[in-house]
Structure 1
Amino acid sequence: MRDPYDILGVAKTADEAEIKRAFRRQAKQLHPDANTSDPKAQDKFAELNSAYELLSDKDKRGQFDRGEIDAEGKPRMHDFAGFGAGGRGGRSRGFSGFDGDTIFESFTFGPEGQTGYTRRGGGGGRAGGPNFDDIGDIFGFGRQQRAAGGGFTPKRGDDVEMTVTVDLEEAAQGASKRVTLPNGKTVELKIAAGTAEGHKMRLKGQGEQSFEGGSPGDAFVTIAYAPHPRFRRDGEDLRTEVMVPLEDAVLGAKVRVPTLSGAVELNVPAWTSGGRTFRLRGKGMPKTGGGAGDLLVTTNVALPETPDAELEALLRKRRDKGAA
């Protein structure tokens, strides 16, 4: 991977705020959803995320700046050519500057995981040498976790949190959503019918990759509801308004009302005033324990679109009669 400073376009002296601003600015430009015609969009976005993950972590950034890890967060092998310059004649060397025994062959392990080290040939055992943790630091393994019985377990990748917004219809009836994860990978997310807002889904192994050879972290996706043009949420109930022609409000009629699962007919009785609310049971949002809330429908009385002379004369006569 390229130098993370170059990827984010910041200087090596940039502070945390500058790095965050640079990442957010480029994330908007490079997000795969905004570059559907670019076949390399996901790779570019993943590279940007990796660079930010490294530079936003104070410890990792320090290790990179000191040359202990590379741009991908992998340990760098150090040059040991300067060790043991006065070596013995006729002995082969594993690393440049080391005797025939390599550095890995120089250590013995006991029940606690390390016992100092021994040299092969001519030296015998010597106590007080460097322990395995020290050697781990030399090779960049200092962040690995000690496993039971000795050895090391690589640290797993970080988990990631994200929010996916769905329409009310998708939440109620179920749907499939293509989601781009923070690592740039696109997955198909199955939204089950009746999924409640705030429901959290775990995508195992879809989090950040481990920089130490461990398993990747997980992605946790929280479901959020998008605002709807026709319905307003009231807890698990929904509210909507419907226009009722004047003659239907006076004489009574059946009026079609939209719901999340399709339109239904509402029986509006005669002499229904504007602002009256009707309840359609089970036509609201899914409930966590099963079932659904209600749809509350408020009527608005609509006058004719064009002036009606007969209606005006009738209402004028009614008004004059009431004033008499």
Structure 2
Amino acid sequence: MKRDYYEVLGVSRSASEQELKKAYRRCAMKHHPDRNPGDSAAEAAFKECKEAYEVLSDGGKRRMYDQHGHAAFEHGMGGGNAGPGFGQGADMGDIFGDIFGNIFGGGGRGGPRRGADVGCVVELDLEEAVGGVEKRVELPTLAGCDDCDGTGSEDGKREVCTTCAGRGQVRMQRGIFTMQQACPHCDGQGQIIAKPCKTCHGAGRVEDEKVLSVKIPAGVDNGDRIRLSGEGEAGPAGAPPGDLYVEVRVRPHPIFQRDGDDLHCEVPIRISQAALGDTVRVPTLGGEAEIRVPAETQTGKVFRLRDKGVKSVRSRAPGDLYCKVVVETPVNLTVEQRELLAQFESTFSGENARRHSPKSSTFIDGVRGFWERMTS
């Protein structure tokens, strides 16, 4: 059963257009597949909030939904089980134009297509991702031809296509049906280039290498994408360019592991520090900090340092740093140190040892009970 669209976006039924847009962006950002790779639940939630926004952001569809609920877009309300956008009040010309435009000529003469979007990957150190950085990016692309200013024409002129007489559409007879499709001679533009540019051969663009300086905002995480509008491939024959998408890849760090806006690290301490307690200095991305290790601390104990993580690129709220202490066995001991440890070990005997080693005692009791069960 479908959830209420207002509930999906987390807004009231009287929400304004601006509130709807803000709620949709928040929902889409949280569940976007790029931020949740392989998460089918997040993908379903993303589709759900997209569907809700498509209905509620359209005045006519919203009125229908407020009056009839989900039934407004199902059986009996405008032509079968069509879903949002296909019910009563939908523009059937737009629907068939989108699907069959090239076959039946529903869209009239087409304009030049925009350039293709392109993508690249930028690798960053953790410190660069956290603090923000400017990176130089080089990528092969199709750029507008300088010799013809991207028009594809040597003299800048175009002529009416003789095949379609400037309509951009041609008619084809298939049995009893007469169909229209984009003119194959002018690609639906209605005009042709009489004198193609000798440099780009009429394409209006040439192969080139683009060099850009990309500003990476502070707080980006692995997999985040940055869109640079108009920095993609140039469009054919002077059409608008596409966009450039820069994907961030963060290299592994020798000390910290990142989890969202939180950081994790391991802090080695000596057995004497764990037993007696001590103040230990730990690294953070902003310098050093101190943690107070209490006496009798066991290995694996985690200490939390608030606001010592990463400032979110979206909310700018800082995460935390989690330090897990690991009791380290001493190595390269001197003769004196060995003698002292041997003397120390001799103090552990019988019930006295059990009192000082609770985990070891629990383990031994567990092993004893296991063998008793096996032999009984």
TM-score (norm 2): 0.42
Q: Whose RCO is larger (CA < 8 A, sep 6+)?
A: 2
